Structure 1
């Protein structure tokens, strides 16, 4: 099993309380002319430690970089392995979860020592930006930390988006822990598939239309 799959895969238990992979992300909600979600655009830049491990795992030519064919293999591996985790993309429309279809492809690149993945997701069913829609890009297992450096890294675009209000929510982890102290122990130790804590502390984009 390639190292990339192993490191991105779901691992059991409280070991996952501390992230081991770090992503600097950019996220864009693109609206169609009818007010539905056209696509969700993602750009992920991985930390150099993890990126170097991917080079070791996929470099078949014996050089310290990845060829176009090797990068294509990285993209295919991530596309297949992260499907069961929803590509760390969690969307709700008025409190109801919105399922995402598998992306057509994931484009991989390697720049300045970092692996960069670019891909777009589309809802499995047409979903309108009506009422309250929340977009969260996070790993429920807490093994991978997804960070948005500024609020401008979570954006909206497309027709009629001027009618909507955009808000980036950045919970304070210390406040979250203080408010949920009684429940956190059971969250970490009783749910091997991830915890509610990841949702509580995740940076997310709220769009109200």
Structure 2
């Protein structure tokens, strides 16, 4: 989704350009029990190189700049992105059928680096008891598009049952055309900081479908 930077840079008024953009390659592991019910979701985030550099410099890690963290540095970094404010959904929505699945906050957080990029992982439990995984859907997105998520890392199902995984990619060209048409309607002095920012993040999200047999 790096293409969004070009679009925003070309089309948005100056105040909006002050906002940084973070890009995250995302992976999901859906954990299913022997009855075909979803119990947990493990989320992997791989941050873009520039944001990773900013975090490492701010936390005074990887001082030799070799892109590799020591074990103690990994422990220090773990959980830096798992301090969530109340009500934050972790930029992940999961549905079982038509019902949105309630997920816990991040647990079992870990962090490492790959080629200078920070890669973190956290586990989220299904709250209120496991839910059927016979008709699951999942989307990773930030509705404001401050953060751009791209599901480029593995999406897997772990458990004793065999499940089917399919994915539907967003209509990027169509969504870009709609966004560009909207941006062109704005006045040159339109201030997005004082007005409602269009919530377009979901429009650019990959939709994951999982079907597991229930017993």
Q: Distance in 1 between matches of 2:104 and 2:94?
A: 12
The Cα RMSD (Å) is: 3.3
Map 1:1-209 onto structure 2 (within 5 A).
15=16, 20-59=21-60, 63-64=64-65, 66-81=69-84, 84-149=87-152, 153-162=154-163, 165-176=164-175, 191=196, 195=199, 197-209=200-212
Checking the alignment, whether the CA contact within 8 Å between 1:23 and 1:146 is kept in structure 2 is yes
Contact 1:176 1:201 in 2 (8 A): yes
TM-score normalised over the length of structure 1: 0.73
- Residue 28 of structure 1: CA displacement? 1.6
Number of positions where the alignment pairs a residue of Structure 1 with one of Structure 2: 188
Unpaired segments ≥5 residues, structure 2: 1-14, 186-191
TM-score in terms of structure 2 length? 0.71
Query: Highest Rg: 1 or 2?
Result: 2
Give the Cα separation in 1 of the matches to 2:35 and 2:25. 31
After superposition, the Cα gap between the structure-2 partners of 1:146 and 1:83, relative to the gap in structure 1 and judged at 3 Å, is: farther
Structure 1: segments with no counterpart, 5+ residues: 1-13
CA distance in 2, matches of 1:182, 1:53: 34
Between Structure 1 and Structure 2, the one with more helix by share is 1
Alpha-carbon distance change, 53 to 20 in structure 1, aligned in 2, over 3 angstroms = same
Deviation above 6 Å: which 4+ runs of structure 1? 179-185
Return the offset for 1:120.
1.7
Contact 2:56 2:62 in 1 (8 A): no
Return the offset for 1:149.
Answer: 2.8
Moved more, 18-27 or 173-182: 173-182
Shift in Å, 1:181: 8.7
